[in-house]
Structure 1
Amino acid sequence: MDAGECSPSLQDCSMVHRPVGDLFAPVTDVDEWQSFMLSLSQIEQFQRDGFLLNVPVLTPDQCDKILADYKYFLGEEKHPGMEMLYEYHSNQSGDPDNVLMHALGHWRLTKHFHDLVFLPNVVVPVSQLLDPGRMSSVRFWHDQLFAKPPFHGGNVAWHQDYSYWTRTTPMAHLTVHIALDDQTEENGGLHYIPGSHRWTRDDGKPLPVTDFSFKDMESIKTILTEEEKDGFRPVCGNLRKGEASFHHALAVHGSYGNRSDKPRRAAVLNYFKDGVCSNTDGEILKDICVPKGSKMDGQFFPLVFDPECMPFNEASK
């Protein structure tokens, strides 16, 4: 496939499981691959808190080129492949004073969003964090966009990601949130609750979702124990443009509204360990079904990292 076929045409980029554009230089050098690995202290911090902040993954120029594709989701220009999206909400909150654009599946539409899925300085840390102490093969789950306009950008209510993903099993998932603009307290930057990845119900199940509209920030407190309420101490990521946070599928996180004079836009990549299976005979994603008990793989869930095929030494596996 020619790189240009992905943007902006009806060509489905999910048919190609390798980078198709020129936004990211190919990586072939052993030392460069290994340079993307997290340190032991970073892995320990992730295990303790359930998240890791301020990991550089994109240059400002790369962010700007990716942001150019945001026009298809903010109503500035119509992409002919919008029907391929798994979800699209021009405002998920439904409140015109609290606007949250939210989309899933855009990796199928443009070469920049497609290639982001395979970015080595994202998938190498994901492999480490999914299975600390060794490196695991990683598959892509799905992507998300979150955009909050200036002055009236909406909330994303506190939640655990796996609460929405129990249609897959076992829980071996991880999320990467990439800031395409600087994120602050004022513009609705992402917040985490340290240690909340240990908050479960009924032998390891995630907390229930308390607000599917995303706007009621405090609703989660109605289902927390007194101990969990005492430990509810939000930390703002304060991500700089091009930095990412990596978080556990049970880490409680959310973000307040944007009251600044600048937009707050982010790209989110969700992954799981190779071997995760479908837990439903219904739709896994819109128009995509995987029989219950079957491995999640194929066109829509590509293998993005396999340490056995990468130039890593035995000590790093």
Structure 2
Amino acid sequence: MTSVAAPAEFKPGVPDWSTLHQSSGGLASPVNDAAAWKSYEWPEERVQQFNKDGFVSNVPVLTEEQCDRLLNDYRFFMGKENHPGMAMMYEYHSNQSADPQNVLMHALGHWRLTQLFHDLVFLPQVVVPVSQCMGGKAVRFWHDQLFAKPAHHGGNVAWHQDYSYWIRSRPMCHMTVHIALEDQTEENGTLKYIPGSHRWTRNNGEPLPVLDFNFKDMEGIKTILTEEEREAFKPVSALLKKGEASFHHALSVHGSYGNRSPKNRRAAVLNYFADGTYSDSDQELLKGVTIPKGQKMEGQFFPIVFDPSWTKQ
């Protein structure tokens, strides 16, 4: 690995961290040798569990101190302080549900704005297992997300499959890592999964259709399930502790209910795809990011975050 360079500036004094395609060392020390990369591999039993259920939960990836530092950066997205680089965001919704009694802050693109959220993308505890779950492929970053449910009136995230929102990229070899920056409980809207639902497809492997782009309709998915799928619809709560992550397949059905507790419920989400994924649209893949249909998704916004060859150098 080479020495870390500085990111280019979006405007004077405001770095665009997407121009730096490795960890800066701000969140954790960069990995510099093959043995260190290999040390982050999961045991085969855990990979098999992922393949069986479509997810693995309660994997420690961050310390409490690292979570607290990331939560400090959350101030830019919870209305407490304006970041001078907000124009770089792909999406920002102070309340995606538009219901003041069910508030869901949802953001994409913050890895461009802060050093710590940038470095989170490259965290070896995350990217090495993602490669294993993808069958040993090299991994590229897709995009990040923030989900915040404020105390007492935090909103839900309706049951869905992630790839339903991503069909503009093919073939499907995508994964999501959901990191709890605070303890998740039944009361504050913990992440929930349907085991085995990563096998639920339509029309020769296509995902279930999107019913609600604002995540409000919690039960709508049941109207499009087969009888067999409805019988298998038995949610499992992740109950992530602060600093723990859930890794899930792009077709794994998941969701979360609202937060009625007296504390916030904040999380950071990382999405990845296998190297070789191509654009299936001439429209924007993300705000300001267009790759012609049929061309490989790569470049500034889709960096390689891990290559298995790094464990052998």
TM-score range, shorter chain: over 0.9
Q: Deviations over 1:113-170 (max 9, x none)?
A: 0000111111000000011xxx211000000000000111000000000000000000
CA contact (8 A) 1:4 1:21 kept: no
Q: 1:160 to 1:9 in 2, by over 3 A?
A: farther
Question: Does 2:238 correspond to 1:237?
Answer: yes
Aligned to 1:23: 27
Q: Deviations over 1:184-229 (max 9, x none)?
A: 1111010000000000000000000111121111010110111000
1:109-258 matched pairs, under 5 angstroms: 109-131=113-135, 135-258=136-259
Aligned to 2:292: 291
Percentage of matched positions with identical amino acids: 66
- Alpha-carbon offset, residue 75 of structure 1: 0.6
Output the amino acid matched with 1:95: D
Output the amino acid matched with 1:190: L
Could you tell me how far apart the structure 2 residues matched to 1:156 and 1:236 are?
Answer: 14
Q: 1:94 to 1:9 in 2, by over 3 A?
A: farther
CA contact (8 A) 1:173 1:248 kept: yes
- Alpha-carbon offset, residue 26 of structure 1: 2.1
1:68-147 matched pairs, under 5 angstroms: 68-131=72-135, 135-147=136-148
Could you tell me how far apart the structure 2 residues matched to 1:31 and 1:86 are?
Answer: 36
Q: 1:295 to 1:2 in 2, by over 3 A?
A: closer
CA contact (8 A) 1:9 1:81 kept: no
- Alpha-carbon offset, residue 2 of structure 1: 4.1
- Alpha-carbon offset, residue 296 of structure 1: 0.2
CA contact (8 A) 2:8 2:19 kept: no
Q: SS of 2:141's equivalent?
A: strand
Could you tell me how far apart the structure 1 residues matched to 2:71 and 2:8 are?
Answer: 17
Could you tell me how far apart the structure 1 residues matched to 2:153 and 2:121 are?
Answer: 30
Could you tell me how far apart the structure 1 residues matched to 2:161 and 2:8 are?
Answer: 37
How many residue pairs match? The answer is 309
Could you tell me how far apart the structure 2 residues matched to 1:2 and 1:201 are?
Answer: 45
Could you tell me how far apart the structure 1 residues matched to 2:13 and 2:226 are?
Answer: 50
Pairwise CA RMSD of aligned residues?
1.7
- Alpha-carbon offset, residue 94 of structure 1: 0.4
Could you tell me how far apart the structure 2 residues matched to 1:20 and 1:247 are?
Answer: 26
Aligned to 2:311: 311
- Alpha-carbon offset, residue 311 of structure 1: 2.8
Q: SS of 1:285's equivalent?
A: coil
Output the amino acid matched with 1:97: Q
1:59-70 matched pairs, under 5 angstroms: 59-70=63-74
Could you tell me how far apart the structure 1 residues matched to 2:140 and 2:8 are?
Answer: 25
Q: SS of 1:47's equivalent?
A: helix
Output the amino acid matched with 1:264: R
CA contact (8 A) 2:153 2:259 kept: yes
Q: Deviations over 1:223-273 (max 9, x none)?
A: 011100000000010111001000000000000000111111000000000
Output the amino acid matched with 2:197: S
Output the amino acid matched with 1:302: P
Structure 1 range deviating more: 20-29 or 187-196: 20-29
Q: Deviations over 1:37-56 (max 9, x none)?
A: 11111111111110001111
Output the amino acid matched with 1:92: Q
Question: Does 2:15 correspond to 1:11?
Answer: yes
TM-score (norm. length: structure 2): 0.95
Q: SS of 2:189's equivalent?
A: coil
CA contact (8 A) 1:3 1:21 kept: no
Could you tell me how far apart the structure 2 residues matched to 1:288 and 1:31 are?
Answer: 36
Q: SS of 2:223's equivalent?
A: helix
Q: SS of 1:288's equivalent?
A: coil
Could you tell me how far apart the structure 1 residues matched to 2:214 and 2:307 are?
Answer: 37
1:44-63 matched pairs, under 5 angstroms: 44-63=48-67
Q: SS of 2:248's equivalent?
A: strand
Q: SS of 1:271's equivalent?
A: strand
CA contact (8 A) 1:36 1:124 kept: yes
Could you tell me how far apart the structure 1 residues matched to 2:193 and 2:311 are?
Answer: 34
Q: SS of 2:133's equivalent?
A: helix
CA contact (8 A) 1:9 1:109 kept: no
Could you tell me how far apart the structure 2 residues matched to 1:243 and 1:130 are?
Answer: 20
